[in-house]
């Protein structure tokens, strides 16, 4: 059901809203078709369309990083400036570099991706929305570390200040979360996030 028809009928929105942004229309459409029918899917093929489609109803954004005019990085920055509390997964052919440390996304998928990856990522990000801000930060930092570890050699990571700062930030968040949850040890906390 489209946003307009739900509003016209006066129905409350209860299905999650996923915004799929990719400059290749067939890719955006495919990602949308891969999602279950109980999601409301919006698609955009450039940054301006994405910003127009993004509102407080959007729960998850699947965002291409490399687009003409407004890049995915620019769109992400503007979404955060607007204060939209949506979870964002970068879904891109751009191999991640250390610059991802500063980007406020929740997950990073490198193309090509398949149906299972798209579905699992959306489900994980929807679940993550129910967690507190500190837990979401821990997850996002952990995702960045895992992404870099999958792409970079150990020697590059060891010598990189940005990576080391991410590791230090994760340890800080881990300690804060451990204090907050009381009895959970590191293994329990990691298991909880692994279940996501």
- Residue boundaries of the structural domains of the chain: 8-130, 131-196
pLDDT tens, residue by residue, 86-144: 999 999 998 899 999 999 999 999 999 999 999 999 999 999 988 888 899 999 999 99
Q: Are 31 and 23 in contact (CB under 8 A)?
A: no
Residue 71: pLDDT band with limits 50, 70, 90: very high
Residue 68: pLDDT band with limits 50, 70, 90: confident
- For the segment 159-187, the average pLDDT, to the nearest whole number, is 82
Alpha helices in the chain (DSSP H): 3-8, 25-34, 47-53, 72-81, 115-128, 133-151, 154-158, 161-181, 186-195
| CATH number among 1.10.3720.10, 3.40.50.2300, 3.30.70.100, 3.10.129.10, domain 8-130 | 3.40.50.2300
Task: Report the first-to-last Cα separation within the chain, whole angstroms.
Answer: 28
Report pTM.
0.82
pLDDT at residue 84, rounded to an integer: 93
Q: Are 170 and 138 in contact (CB under 8 A)?
A: yes
pLDDT at residue 48, rounded to an integer: 96
**Residue found by looking up tokens 């009928």 in the block:** 9
Q: Is the pLDDT of residue 8 over 90?
A: no
């Amino acid at each position: 059901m489209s946003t307009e028809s739900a509003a016209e009928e006066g129905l409350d929105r209860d299905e999650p809203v996923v915004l799929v942004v990719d400059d290749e229309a067939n890719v955006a459409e495919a990602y949308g078709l891969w999602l279950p029918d109980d999601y409301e899917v919006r698609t955009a093929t450039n940054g301006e369309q994405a910003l127009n489609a993004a509102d407080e109803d959007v729960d998850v954004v699947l965002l291409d990083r490399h687009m003409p005019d407004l890049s995915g990085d620019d769109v992400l920055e503007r979404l955060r400036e607007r204060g939209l509390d949506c979870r964002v997964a970068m879904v891109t052919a751009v191999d991640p570099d250390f610059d991802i440390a500063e980007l406020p996304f929740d997950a990073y998928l490198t193309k090509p991706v398949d149906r299972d990856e798209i579905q699992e990522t959306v489900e994980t990000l929807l679940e993550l929305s129910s967690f507190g801000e500190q837990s979401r930060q821990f997850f996002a930092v952990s995702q960045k570390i895992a992404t870099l570890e999958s792409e970079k050699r150990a020697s590059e990571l060891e010598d990189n200040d940005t990576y080391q700062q991410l590791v230090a930030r994760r340890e800080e968040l881990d300690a804060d979360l451990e204090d907050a949850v009381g009895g959970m040890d590191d293994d329990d906390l990691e298991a909880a996030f692994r279940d996501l």
